[in-house]
Structure 1
Amino acid sequence: MIQQRIVLLSAAGLASALLLAACGSSTGKASSGTNPGSVAPVATAATAATESATSAPAGSSDSGSGHMATTTMLMAKAVKGMGSVVTDDKGMTLYRYDKDQATPSKWTCAGECTKTWMPVMEQDSVQTMGVEKSLLGTVHRDGMKQVTLGGWPLYRYMGDTKAGQMNGQAKDKMWYAVTPSGEKSTMTG
């Protein structure tokens, strides 16, 4: 009798895990009513997340291609010769893309672009250190929430392999490290 319950509970747990995994790989076309361009503020320890819908840019669905990075912390960090920039919980520099829009928050880096520029996704809630919490937000991206700062979606650059590097700074004259105020860093070290 006990072994039968264990088997049934294990099967139920496995089925739940598979169902959750299938939901996590959604392309944003689920019947939940949210689209990849929906905006919601980042949930912090003292703030509950709310949502307000906006339209997604044409052709903005990633369809599962590319890479994503998750974070639980945004920190202001002084980088020698570059001033203060925002890093994630691993100390990796975060960037914004000039083709994205701050108001309303929209992302345009999709598909192949996300293999080089990984969207920074919210993992539960995002805390800050030296970054104004009121500037934090999220934009929906294929069923997940990409972190925004000052309305700009944030990314990590694959060419940064160690904390504190800024190899993506001014890349293609479109990618810039983001400052704690959400502006782009114009310093070139």
Structure 2
Amino acid sequence: MVLKRRTFLVASSMTLGLAGCTGDNETTPDEDEETTSPDGADDEGTEMDVTVQVRSNSEYGDILVGPDEMTLYMFDQDTQGNGVSACYDGCADNWPPHTVDDEPVAGEGVTADLRTFERETGERQVMAGGWPLYYFAPDEEPDDATGQGVNDVWWVLTPDGTPVKPDGGY
């Protein structure tokens, strides 16, 4: 049986990433969460680089993606709205957090409230609708969403920040 490269990469990364994705990390929420205006402008109304945008995916419809149009995911081990990530170490190697240096900026069509919180590493991770956002390392192209449903805990999100799950979401 010949495996496709993508199938092999997904299977390999899922196996390697499982140990780091159990959600055993304990941290406390950061009380100084930051927000941005939904139109993608700063206080002076100047256009800034978009942090989160909407892209139509061939399988899941309109979903949230990063500035490079790569798919973003949420993790069931995170608690919505508490500004803490449960994904570090090996987990974060396979599911890199979506981080920013400045305020997060919503692109056209993003209706989820965007905020940030400080990770244990000092980076500022972006949240959409209260969910910390992550990439999936094996995704190679903008339309890839190979992390969808991995271990029944990783999900793409709709423009309002709702996870896309087989049972219709949260």
TM superposition score normalised by structure 2: 0.69
Instruction: Output the CA distance in 2 between the equivalents of 1:95 and 1:37.
Output: 20
The answer for the alignment partner of 1:111 in structure 2 is: 89
Amino acid at match of 1:162: E
Amino acid at match of 1:38: D
The answer for the alignment partner of 1:46 in structure 2 is: 42
Amino acid at match of 1:160: D
Distance 1:72 1:125, change over 3 A: farther
1:29-178 equivalences under 5 Å are 37-39=29-31, 40-43=33-36, 45-46=41-42, 72-129=50-107, 130-132=109-111, 135-141=113-119, 142-178=121-157
Distance 1:128 1:43, change over 3 A: closer
In structure 1, the gaps of 5 or more residues are 1-34, 49-70
What is the root-mean-square deviation of aligned Cα atoms in Å?
2.4
Percent pairwise identity: 26
Amino acid at match of 2:29: G
Amino acid at match of 1:86: L
Instruction: Output the CA distance in 1 between the equivalents of 2:85 and 2:99.
Output: 13
Tell me the number of residue pairs that the alignment of Structure 1 and Structure 2 aligns.
Answer: 131
Amino acid at match of 2:111: E
* 1:177 CA drift (Å): 0.7
Instruction: Output the CA distance in 1 between the equivalents of 2:134 and 2:111.
Output: 18
- Secondary structure of 1:139's match? strand
C-alpha contact 2:36 2:114 (8 A) present in aligned 1 = no
Distance 1:36 1:122, change over 3 A: farther
Amino acid at match of 1:99: Q
Instruction: Output the CA distance in 2 between the equivalents of 1:73 and 1:145.
Output: 12
C-alpha contact 1:72 1:123 (8 A) present in aligned 2 = no
Higher-strand-fraction structure: 1
Amino acid at match of 1:103: G
- Secondary structure of 1:115's match? helix
- Secondary structure of 1:37's match? coil
In structure 2, the gaps of 5 or more residues are 1-26
Deviations 1:25-81 (A, max 9, x none): xxxxxxxxxx86314123454359xxxxxxxxxxxxxxxxxxxxxx84211111113
